[in-house]
């Protein structure tokens, strides 16, 4: 598949795992990976080559036999903020990787069936539908379909039907805030105590395990899953700057009477930045996956331009506030009972704080990733029974 309007992604092959080890992790002292600073999708660029290496090394028996050649099934989980170009560029890269590994034939019926799974209420998803239709029409060897799902943990494919699955960013959004609510705005909050962090870690671990169990049910034996998420590396986390700016802006709003202090004190952001080892632990807890690779890195991001003088402090503050709004959205608005005017004022104040003290609200583009392989043998039994029951349950499901 070649989408004419998509900028090619520059890929760097990451370090191989240590001899005799099933996984690798970058240390904090060597955390910055040499990815092109202009790359619009640095986390995917940094770790997508793991998939190619696994396929070329024949580490996974998930590839369809050469004769006859059924379509190779790819499931790509897209998330709010993933524009159409980025999503289709990922499909284009993975298709090229499959061809290089000899996993796709040429001509005839579609060689690749790519399912893009995302929230139908998102404007990004609507734009993707148009772009995906055009991309499929330009290359009949690739069939692209959209699977609308409001919940990343929901079933997205029939049992044992997916050869390769990729998720970028989705694990960072929790199904709910820690319960009971942790007395900290977010896990990396400077005021968070051990109990607060433990509550976040427990909720995130449960969510990640639920996601991985569902993907295991859908994966063919030996199938691959590449999960990339905003991460934590040492004392640095991807969401520290935007969440800290909003926290401080909300605290100032309490002093001015715009924000209810009791509501703010009980709020816990439903977000979490994983360490690579936590992703590995979640996979191990399911018993369904083998960990082939793991890693974490601080990657070049658009907000790094401030250090090079390419943007002003005001532009930096606006970007931090925009990211915070994208991350928190309705969860903060509803929890604090904010009017539209109060919500707008909150983010304006957050932008001013970040612009006034970029060092305190320093953005870190940290990401963590894990490459998993579905264990062979029996596929987990679907909760509703057989394949026919699975489709019937999806027809009746209210989660479209």
- Residue pair 63/71 in contact (Cβ under 8 Å)? The answer is no
- Per-residue pLDDT at 22: 34
- Per-residue pLDDT at 110: 61
Q: How far apart are CA 231 and CA 251, in angstroms?
A: 26
- Per-residue pLDDT at 265: 92
pLDDT in tens, 148-169: 887 777 888 999 999 999 998 8
Domains of the chain: 28-237+269-302+363-379 (3.40.50.150)
DSSP code string of 30-90: G-B----TT-S-HHHHHHTHHHHHHHHTT--TTSPPSSS-PPEEEEEE--TT--HHHHHHH
355: buried, middle or exposed (CB in 10 Å: 19+, 13-18, 0-12)? buried
pLDDT in tens, 302-329: 677 666 667 889 999 999 999 999 899 8
* Strand ranges for the chain from DSSP E: 72-77, 112-118, 142-148, 162-168, 219-230, 232-233, 236-237, 289-298, 366-374
CA 232 centroid distance within chain: 14
């Amino acid at each position: 598949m070649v989408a004419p309007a998509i900028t090619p992604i520059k890929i760097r092959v990451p370090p191989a795992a240590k001899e005799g080890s099933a996984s690798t992790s970058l240390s904090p002292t060597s955390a910055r990976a040499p990815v092109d600073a202009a790359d619009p999708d640095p986390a995917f660029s940094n770790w997508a080559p793991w998939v190619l290496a696994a396929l070329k090394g024949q580490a996974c028996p998930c590839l369809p036999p050469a004769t006859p050649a059924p379509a190779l099934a790819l499931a790509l989980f897209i998330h709010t903020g993933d524009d159409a170009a980025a999503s289709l560029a990922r499909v284009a890269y993975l298709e090229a990787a499959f061809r290089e590994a000899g996993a796709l034939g040429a001509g005839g019926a579609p060689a690749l069936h790519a399912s893009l799974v995302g929230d139908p209420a998102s404007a990004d998803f609507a734009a993707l539908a148009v772009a995906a239709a055009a991309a499929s029409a330009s290359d009949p060897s690739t069939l692209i379909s959209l699977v609308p799902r409001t919940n990343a943990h929901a079933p997205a494919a029939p049992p044992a039907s997916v050869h390769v699955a990729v998720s970028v960013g989705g694990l960072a959004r929790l199904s709910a805030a820690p319960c009971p609510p942790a007395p900290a705005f977010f896990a990396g909050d400077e005021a968070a105590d051990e109990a607060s962090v433990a509550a976040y870690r427990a909720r995130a671990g449960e969510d990640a395990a639920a996601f991985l169990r569902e993907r295991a049910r859908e994966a063919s034996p030996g199938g691959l899953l590449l999960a990339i998420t905003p991460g934590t590396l040492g004392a640095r986390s991807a969401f520290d700057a935007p969440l800290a700016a909003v926290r401080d802006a909300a605290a100032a709003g309490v002093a001015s009477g715009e924000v209810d202090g009791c509501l703010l004190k009980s709020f816990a952001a439903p977000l979490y930045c994983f360490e690579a080892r936590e992703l590995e632990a979640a996979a191990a807890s399911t018993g369904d996956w083998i960990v082939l690779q793991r890693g974490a890195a601080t990657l070049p991001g658009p907000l790094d331009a401030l250090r090079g003088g390419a943007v002003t402090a005001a532009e930096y503050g606006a970007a931090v506030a925009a990211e915070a709004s994208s991350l928190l959205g309705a969860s903060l608005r509803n929890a604090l009972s904010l009017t539209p005017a109060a919500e707008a004022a909150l983010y304006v104040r957050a932008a001013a704080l970040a612009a006034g003290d970029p060092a305190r609200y320093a953005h870190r583009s940290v990401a963590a990733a894990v490459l998993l392989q579905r264990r062979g043998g029996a596929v987990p039994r679907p909760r509703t029974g057989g394949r026919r029951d699975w489709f019937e349950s999806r027809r009746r499901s209210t989660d479209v």
